[in-house]
Structure 1
Amino acid sequence: MSLDDTQGTAAPAPALTRQVPLHFKRHNFEAFCYDTIGCSVMYNGRYQVQKAADEASPPKPAGDYREGWGSAELGISNFPAPAEVRWKSKDGTAHEAKVDIAQIFKDELIWHNVPKEAMTDFYSGPVAGAPDIYLEVDDRTINVYTAMFIPTRQPQVPGNKDSDFRKDIFLVWSRTY
């Protein structure tokens, strides 16, 4: 069992994240478990996922399943203590990890891939809103993703007037145990 959360791999932020820096002071959170046994995720003082010790989580859904993700806990102030994750992988090996969301998002930048000229003026001041942060436990791997609703000047789907936004999902951090 490992409680070392510093060995994960951080992904580089998209170039537009640094070119058009949007900051956040609050975030939303959701955790998902796939192909695990007895998975539990504690974050912000409560269980985000709590399965019975012998309860198996289903495999990942087919297709682009992350497009259906949304956050269950909203408006969390940056940043509570690290997420505590306990689970067994499919082979029955027990794992424990602390995932330090504060360290992963230490610059408090919202990851996005939208040029400034394509964005509507959707915020004022130094804070642009609350991004979604997702923690995914998949067999032996923990992945942290983020997404943010960014209003755009033009529809993103031609002919669909209700598609005037982007909400790209980015892999931010990963570790296999």
Structure 2
Amino acid sequence: MQSEQSARRLAGPLYGQEPWPIRFHEHTFVAALYNTLACSFLYNNYQFGTQKRDWTGQVFERPSGPGPEDRSARWNSGHIIVPKNGQTFPGPVELAWTSLDNTPLQASVDLDAMFKDRLVLHNVSREEVKEAWLKTLSIQPVTPKILVELNDRTVSVYMKAMVATEKEQVPGDPYTQSRSEPVLAWKHTY
């Protein structure tokens, strides 16, 4: 059983708050890139992509290639971003890339502004949500995955979070009492 102090730390400002609508305090970040000649994502002092610097400062770059037919595998990893100094997001996602037509592009995606209300995006109605699970969220909130995808000239931001449901999603299978599907939060073509 976790202590109240550790529950307060995990839940942050959500501790003891009304669980509906579902909100988040920390998140997992996932970067996905397809169809670029070179690409670099910078987020939380980490670099993702096909364009990187080695220890001497030399830049190495390579094309990213097309996306897989089944993109569900991209959700299997990620970097947990723990809030610092009360800030859920450590800053914007900075992107620099070369599109397939050899155009150099840059973008800054401000996740803090995009998710200013810290609402978990999902497709489950209030009536479908498992009541016992919902009651635990003020102590141990949901940690959604936020995926920033770059595909040639289009940047898309998705959120995916597990939401427990009263009913089985596959009849007869008690292990399917939840839903977890990506929801598009934002999209822009440059």
Tell me the TM-score normalised to structure 1 length. Answer: 0.80
One-letter amino acid of the counterpart of residue 33, structure 2: C
- Alignment partners' CA distance in 2, 1:162 and 1:88: 43
Q: Which runs of 5+ in 2 are unaligned?
A: 1-19, 53-59
Question: Any residues of structure 2 matched to 1:128-167 within 5 Å, and which?
Answer: 128-167=141-180
**CA deviation profile, 1:153-172 (whole Å, cap 9, x unmatched):** 22111232221110121111
Match of 2:68 in 1: 61
Q: Report which of the two has the higher share of helix.
A: 2
Greater relative CO, 1 or 2 (CA 8 Å, sep 6+): 1
Structure with bigger gyration radius: 2
Q: Measure, in 1, the Cα distance between the counterparts of 2:189 and 2:137.
A: 39
Q: Is the 8 A contact 1:71 1:134 kept in 2?
A: no
- Gapped runs of 5+ residues in structure 1? 1-19
Identity of aligned residues (%): 34
Aligned residue pair count: 157
- TM-score w.r.t. structure 2 length? 0.75
SS of match in other structure, 1:87: strand
How much does 1:50 deviate?
A: 4.3
Runs of at least 4 residues of structure 1 off by over 4 A?
none
1:107-160 superposed Cα distances (whole Å, 9 cap, x missing partner):
110011212232222224277311110000000010000011111122111232
Q: How does 1:14-163 map to 2 (within 5 A)?
A: 20-51=20-51, 53-63=60-70, 65-66=71-72, 69-77=75-83, 78-120=88-130, 121-122=132-133, 123-125=136-138, 128-163=141-176
User: Could you say what the CA RMSD is over the residues aligned between the two structures, in angstroms?
Assistant: 1.9
